[in-house]
Structure 1
Amino acid sequence: MTFRLTLLPAREGDCLLVTYGPAGEHRMLVDGGRTGTWKDVKKKQLLEVGQGTRFEAIVVTHIDRDHIEGMLKLCADDDFRAEVGDFWFNAYKHLDGVASDDEIEEFGVAQGEQLSTALADRAWSWNARFGGKAIRIPDGDDPLETLVLAGCLRVTLLSPTRHGLRSLMGDWDKWLIEAGLKPEQGEPPDEPEVQEIESFGGGIPDLDSLCAQPEDNDDGVPNGSSIAFLLQYDGKTILCGADAHPDVLEQALRRMSYSETNPLRLHLMKVPHHGSGRNVTAGLLSVVDCTRFAISTNGSHHEHPDDVALARIVRSSDRLKTIYFNYDQPRLAGWKDETFMADNNFRCVFPQPADQGCLSIEI
């Protein structure tokens, strides 16, 4: 059986290809990276775009530019003629039922954002597995929803909450402008290729000092709307954290009866928010049993991953841990020190120089 997560060349963002099935015949695509990402992905020839190809689901987790811009390119690319089982994306129209009728009327200002228009043109099924409504977890202590895609991939939603979507709704126009999705703006411009990233630091980290730093959980509004989930296939489990808030992920897992004494066995964690210290918390790590962690970013914005997040991962258990990076960054030099890795029982895995941005992980 094949179960594989491929980190595609999304620069500082996410573009994830999930492949599963007896012969790897089923696919799921999660996010699209920045504007320039789509041509990079096509160049790598990791996505078959011709007629006859099928994606069981394509997901845009939230409206941050480093997750959504590449999807605009995909939707506009005439070469992309693949069949799409369902497209998962929370647009403004899906907030009906999350907010009151008065709120919908007050904030209904941007029905025509670019991705919504592109999806309408494509005529793909859109949030159909959720009844055409918002993709979110149930309120209170109600059980979390698990969907089964073709080929028996189980998908259990962990985020967002109703509160996360309502918060986004209140400043919808503002977030659309930041994401480059206002229709009058036109398509977001291509950005120049990121050149060599200047290294700040790169010395041997002090794990004790890093782990002693107080936590400051992410409270960003777009991140709080992130679609995050567990993927389960052939007895193995991946957590895809998007940019979700760590307390939301932790509480969702606790609703599933996981805890410090009964942690969820993960075969891979796609680390939330590119390894931000505000999204990788001791509380989240305490309710999972995981030794393999994947981080998608080239560090060109916000210098992710944060040292404190890596320190928390390294100290999360006494067992050997593997941290996968789809880009090698100069600032990670200290983390790659062979003696430091051996002394702290972890290892780092990077792509070959010619494959920067692309790394496949067999689950």
Structure 2
Amino acid sequence: MFKLHVVQARFGDCLVLEAGSKQVPHFVLIDGGPPGNYAADLAPALQDIVGDGGKLDLVVISHIDTDHIVGVLELLAAIESDTVSEREPRQRIGGLWHNSFDRTLDPTGDLAQRMQSLMMTADMAEVAMPLSADAFYGLKEGNWLRRMGRKLAIPINAGFPDDLIMVETAAVVTLAPLELRIAGPDRDNLGKLRAEWLAWLEKAAEQMTSDPAAAATADSSIPNLSSIVVLASCDGRTVLLTGDARGDHIIDGLRAAKLSDSGKLHVDVLKVQHHGSDRNATRAFFEAITADTYVLSADGRDGNPDYETLKGIVETAHQQGRRITLLFTNESAASKKLKRTLKPSDYNYQVMMLDGARHHVTLTLSE
């Protein structure tokens, strides 16, 4: 048995892998969605999928953006409340995967200090930089996650050298029959991201001093954080979990992990990176990494998913003669435009939409 449960997460991500048998199932939670998502959708979804007192063998936080990590923090807080009240924990957790900001991008602490200084300056200048603020608060939430994990005696990054999940030092993790292979980040791309953050912070700080309005505009170009990318396989089926990683970094990571053939890979399910933002997903990516089903977790916030991303997926598959499915967690302006301008009947694709009255939808890859 191999299933992917796509949990409603509004503008964030929240997924559950299920593998094994009904008698001995394994569950992996990938991200938890934004603030409020646990009570609204993740808690009832886990009750339905895992059951009261059931075990999550692993919880993976792809990266520390608030729309990915906060739902997991809320889950841990609920489990702590159960423990303090001497109740049976609503779920048990076997392990956490989480790459801290300092281990991946900021070993000297310089980037965090510069980010804090920028946020203080923006606040004094009354300049709104919401994306930068989310990234800065994500650093604190990442630290909180680790404290909560230790408090609940949950192993963090067990078996990974230097407390860092990375292509070069990762082995295949098996929850028989499920296999998890790390496809990102890799050492080279961490170096590139670190350089991009340093350059962006220097430019943003200079603009904040000379032209605060320009600095606010620059907020839309904030660099990506490092995402854990995982290729999950079971019963001959595959799911590529991408977090918010950049498309070129995903291809690089797959190649570095020796999981792709000359930079190309076909999977059964692709969780489209960064909620379908065209900053992270290009037509070249969708030509190289193909799938039967594309999962897009977004609700239109920040323009995600972008129409150009959806168009690239559909046109590329049509040109390659592949029939595909697009699974949306929410209707958006882009999904409506896609169905209007590139009709499913003309481009040989189907659309699935998570019912607004339900907390999750299930893709069954094998029985």
Normalised by the length of structure 2, the TM-score is: 0.73
Superposed, which structure 2 residues align to 1:314-333 within 5 Å?
314-316=314-316, 317-329=320-332, 331-333=334-336
Percent of aligned pairs sharing the same letter: 27
Aligned to 2:164: 134
Matched ranges for 1:221-236 at <5 A: 221=223, 223-236=224-237
1:170-215 deviations in Å (ceiling 9; x for gaps) = 979x99xxxxxxxxxxxxxxxxxxxxxxxxxxxxxxxxxxxxxxxx
Partner of 2:144: 114
In 1, the alpha carbon distance for the partners of 2:50 and 2:291 equals 31
Kindly provide the amino acid, as one letter, of the partner of residue 322 in structure 2.
R
Using the TM superposition, give the Cα deviation of residue 336 of structure 1 relative to its aligned residue in structure 2, in angstroms: 3.1
Q: Give the CA deviation at 1:362.
A: 1.4
Aligned to 2:2: 3
The answer to whether the 8 Å contact 1:107/1:170 transfers is: no
- The equivalent of 1:35 in structure 2 is 35
**In structure 2, distance between residues paired with 1:220 and 1:134:** 23
CA–CA separation in structure 2 for the residues paired with 1:50 and 1:290: 34
What is the CA distance between 1:129 and its match in structure 2?
A: 2.7
In structure 2, distance between residues paired with 1:90 and 1:257: 21
CA shift in 2, pair 1:136/1:325, >3 Å: same
Q: Write out aligned runs for 1:44-59 (5 A).
A: 44=45, 45-48=47-50, 50-51=52-53, 53-59=54-60
Contact 2:106 2:194 survives alignment (8 Å)? no
More helix by share: 2
**1:352 corresponds to 2:355:** yes
Q: CA deviation at 1:286?
A: 2.6
Give distance in 2, aligned partners of 1:287 and 1:117. 39
Unaligned stretches of 5+ residues in structure 2: 83-88, 117-138, 202-219
Q: Give the alignment of 1:100-111 within 5 angstroms.
A: 103=108
Deviation at 1:5, TM superposition (A): 0.9
- Structure 2 distance, partners of 1:36, 1:283, is 36
Listed as ranges, the gaps of 5+ residues in structure 1 are 139-143, 176-217
Whether the 8 Å CA contact 2:269–2:294 is kept in 1: the answer is: yes
Is residue 236–residue 266 contact of structure 1 (8 Å, CA) maintained in 2? yes
Write out per-residue CA displacement over residues 289-309 of structure 1, whole angstroms, 9 at most, x where no aligned residue.
Answer: 42211111122x212111111
Using the alignment, how far apart are the partners of 2:255 and 2:187 within structure 1? 18
Structure 1 match to 2:130: none
3-state DSSP class of the match of 1:313?
helix
- Stretches of 4+ aligned residues off by more than 4 angstroms: 92-95, 104-112, 163-172
Q: Quote the offset at 1:86 in angstroms.
A: 1.6
**Relative to structure 1, is the Cα distance of residues 165 and 122 closer, same or farther in structure 2, using a 3 angstrom cutoff?**
farther
Matched, 1:240 2:241: yes
Q: Secondary structure at the match of 1:302?
A: helix
The code of the aligned residue for 1:60 comes to: I
1:258 Cα shift?
A: 3.1
Whole-Å separation in 2 of the counterparts to 1:8 and 1:257: 27
5 Å matches for 1:164-183?
165=190, 167=193
* Structure 2 letter corresponding to 1:322: T
- Give 1:197's aligned residue: none
How far does residue 85 in structure 1 lie from its aligned partner after superposition? Answer: 2.2
Counterpart residue identity of residue 16, structure 1: L
Residue in structure 2 matched with residue 161 of structure 1 by the alignment? 186
> What residue is the counterpart of 2:93 in the other structure?
84
Deviation at 1:49, TM superposition (A): 5.8
Report deviation, 1:107.
6.6
> Which residue of structure 1 aligns with residue 345 of structure 2?
342
- Corresponding residue for residue 288 of structure 2: 287
Cα separation, 1, equivalents of 2:277 and 2:311: 11
- Aligned counterparts, 1:256-295, within 5 A: 256=258, 258-259=260-261, 263-295=264-296
Cα RMSD (Å) of the superposition?
3.3
Q: Contact 2:271/2:295 (CA < 8 Å) preserved in 1?
A: yes
Change (3 A) 1:10 1:169: farther
For the residue of structure 1 that corresponds to 2:44, the secondary structure is helix
- Number of equivalent positions: 305
**C-alpha separation between the residues in 2 aligned to 1:271 and 1:170?**
23
Deviation at 1:334, TM superposition (A): 3.1
Distance, in Å, in 2 between the alignment partners of 1:60 and 1:320 is 31
Compared with structure 1, are the counterparts of its residues 107 and 43 closer, same or farther at alpha carbon in structure 2 (3 Å cutoff)?
closer
Contact 1:86–1:125 under 8 Å retained in 2: yes
Shifted more, 113-122 versus 270-279: the winner is: 113-122
What residue is the counterpart of 1:123 in the other structure? Answer: 153
* 2:207 aligned partner: none
Rounded Cα–Cα distance in structure 1 between residues aligned with 2:304 and 2:110: 39
- How far the C-alpha of 1:157 sits from its partner, in A, is 1.2
Q: 1:162 to 1:81 in 2, by over 3 A?
A: farther
Q: Distance in 1 between matches of 2:331 and 2:110?
A: 48
What is the correspondence of 1:181-200 to structure 2 with a 5 Å cutoff? none
